[in-house]
Amino acid sequence: EPEVTQTPSHQVTQMGQEVILRCVPISNHLYFYWYRQILGQKVEFLVSFYNNEISEKSEIFDDQFSVERPDGSNFTLKIRSTKLEDSAMYFCASSEAADLNTGELFFGEGSRLTVL
């Protein structure tokens, strides 16, 4: 069964360091998303990506964050200078075209980021 894969599963970094979280969405999907979940809290939308550009982003997704689809299969989230409050589980997700009748969101298993 096709699945969204994320690497690394867990990353520990020092405050101020750059982090890149990688995702391989399901191959025929067109919509890609990053969400984050601070421990024990709600799932928060960061950004959606379609047709090689950002389609929507939240207030959380400030200039420290960027996304890229460098090679047609990977979908990366970069945090340029990590802060303590960036510690969270980051979920990548993908979805087929925007038809709401088939638009289930498939999640990866998450990348846990710990900023020290």
- Residues engaged in binding another protein (CB under 8 A): 31, 33, 35, 41-45, 48, 50, 55-56, 89, 91, 93, 95, 98, 100-101, 103-107, 109-110, 112
Closer of 20 and 44 to another protein (Cβ): 44
Which residue, among 107, 116, 102, has the nearest Cα to 36 in the 3D structure? Answer: 107
In the complex, the smallest distance separating the C-beta of residue 20 from another protein, rounded to whole angstroms, is 20
d(CA 81, CA 66): 11
- Rounded to 5 degrees, φ, ψ at 23 are -145, 140
Q: How far is the CB of 43 from another protein (least distance, A)?
A: 4
Compare residues 19 and 91 and give the one whose CB is closer to another protein. 91
